[in-house]
Amino acid sequence: MGVLVTSAHSAKSLVVTRSLGRNGIDVTTSDYTKLAPTYYSKYSKDHFVYPHPIENSESFINCILKNVKKNNYEALIPVNSEETYLIAKYKHKFTPYLKVPLHDYDSIMRANDKGELLKIAEDIDIPIPKTYNLNNMSEIKQVAEKLNYPAVIKLKNTKSSIGLSYVHSKEEFISKYVETVSNFHLSASNLPIVQEYIPGDGYGVSALFNCGDPRAIFTHKRLREYPSSGGPSTCRISTEHKEMEKIAVKILKYLNWHGVAMVEFKLDSRTNKPYVIEINPRFWGSVNQAVAAGVDFPYLLYQMAVDGDVKPVFNYKMGVKTRFLINDFRSLSDILKNEPNKIPTLMSFSHFFGKNLYYDTLSFDDPIPGMLFYPFEIKKLWHRLK
């Protein structure tokens, strides 16, 4: 008996694998690459390589299914976006053999669609930035006149900061919007949304739900991110924000959520009002932040899947920091390019050790995969540069 975990090349897959392994669960890891760092975790009892989920989705599903039929797993836990969405779509193929703690495919894709967030906000009255959802390209000039600048262009369905851009004038907006549509080959039904820019700090409210009822809630504040203009967090701290948590629960109850999700917020520095930015209907990049502070989402998800329910966890340790170090160095470089007063940033960054400081990949009791992330990330950077 054990658990099958996907996306072994990612830091969050390593976090999930360590979480389950430390709780005595046998973990098999899997990925589309032969040299994924999580394969080398002492908590990965076995691993295998599957076809690329985007390039060959049918073969990916068939490979996972073949492995599931051959082994006596208790649960299948996908980690990254592509694998999560595909497994949710074909969940009916897997559920005769093991537990798959995911919401239904349509609900997951609705939560992932930033254009749908506008409709959800209208239905249940939650605060989001002023949003424009274009129906066709002829509306660009009309929207350009209405916008308050700076504004943000976002792809409806994407991960991290892919396709995200900031514009500061009508001319820049029109040019960048057309460029985005062209670069990503977007159809009229999938045009980018446009939002007002909200200045302030970013927060995340993470949650585990069981058929519409909350089982765990956790809030963190972003301290640094990469790119520094808006991307995945690289350093964070555990905190609480009752208003944000109430809004996140309201959204996920409305969606009758099942499984894990994270609702992203911006706290407007002008008004101190929180705005919902997006919903991540899967494991999020900063999942180690919650685990380090005492909300062990991967293990809680496993327990809920296998036992049918889990004891709620709503309390955790405040002031715990976590870092994804290699991306935190990238964030530092990004910030220093634009930061006039570099000393406070350097002082904050240079605190590498502390009682309440943890790292996403580096671990004394499981050192090998943490070290492998550095050549792995350098290899990815080299391919991007080429």
Instruction: List pLDDT tens digits, range 24-80.
Output: 999 999 999 998 999 999 999 999 999 999 999 999 999 999 999 999 999 999 999
Beta strand 44-49 with 27-31 is parallel
pLDDT at 380: 63
The residue whose two tokens read 């076995």 is: 46
57, 85 contact by CB (below 8 A): no
Burial class (CB in 10 A: 0-12, 13-18, 19+), 247: buried
List Cβ neighbours of 195 (8 Å cut-off, separation of 6 or more).
Answer: 128, 129, 130, 131, 132, 151, 152, 154
Q: What pLDDT is recorded for position 75?
A: 98
How far is it, in rounded angstroms, from Cα 251 to Cα 118? 12
Residue 158 in this model has a pLDDT that exceeds 90: no
pLDDT on residue 366: 96
Question: Does residue 273 register a pLDDT over 80?
Answer: yes
What is the tens place of the pLDDT at every residue in 6-17? 999 999 999 999
Instruction: Give the pLDDT score at 343.
Output: 77
pTM assigned to the model = 0.91
20 contacts 3 by C-beta, under 8 angstroms: yes
Q: How confident is the model at residue 23 (pLDDT cuts 50, 70, 90)?
A: very high
What is the structure's pLDDT at 326? Answer: 82
Share of the chain above pLDDT 90, in %: 76
- Kindly report, residue by residue over 233-254, the tens digit of the pLDDT: 889 999 999 999 999 999 999 9
At 311, the amino acid letter reads K
Q: Provide the pLDDT for residue 99.
A: 97
Does 360 have pLDDT greater than 80?
Answer: yes
Report the Cα 307 to chain-centroid distance in Å: 26
Q: What is the rounded average pLDDT of the residues 110-138?
A: 92
Contact status, residue 216 vs residue 313, Cβ threshold 8 Å: yes
- At 316, list the tokens: 């955790």
User: Does pLDDT of 368 surpass 70?
Assistant: yes
What span, in angstroms and rounded, lies between the C-alpha atoms of 269 and 141? 29
- State residue 382's pLDDT score: 66
Q: Which residue has the higher pLDDT, 31 or 184?
A: 31
Domains of the chain: 3-100 (3.40.50.720), 130-196 (3.30.1490.20), 200-376 (3.30.470.20)
Q: Does residue 95 carry a pLDDT above 90?
A: yes
CB neighbour burial string for 284-301, b if at least 16 within 10 angstroms, e if fewer = bbbbbbbbbbebbbbbbb
- Higher-confidence position of 52 and 185: 52
Q: What is the pLDDT of residue 188?
A: 84
The average confidence (pLDDT) of the chain is 92
3-state SS, residue 87:
helix
The pLDDT, as a whole number, for residue 266 is: 96
Per-residue pLDDT at 385: 59
User: Distance of CA 73 to CAs 27, 112, 262, 337, 365, Å?
Assistant: 9, 28, 26, 49, 26
3-state DSSP assignment of residue 11: helix
Contacts of residues 124-128 at CB distance under 8 Å and 24 or more positions apart, as own/partner, are: 124/250, 124/251, 124/254, 126/247, 126/250, 126/251, 126/276, 127/247, 127/273, 127/274, 127/275, 127/276, 128/195, 128/275, 128/276, 128/277
Count of alpha carbons within 13 angstroms of residue 58, beta-carbon side: 0
Tell me: pLDDT of 185 over 80.
yes
Judge whether residue 195 has pLDDT over 70.
Answer: yes
Note the pLDDT of residue 230. Answer: 75
What was the pLDDT predicted at 384? 59
Strand 233-239 to strand 321-323: parallel, antiparallel, or no bridges (unpaired)? antiparallel
pLDDT at 227: 74
Q: Please, what's the largest Cα pairwise distance for the chain? A: 60
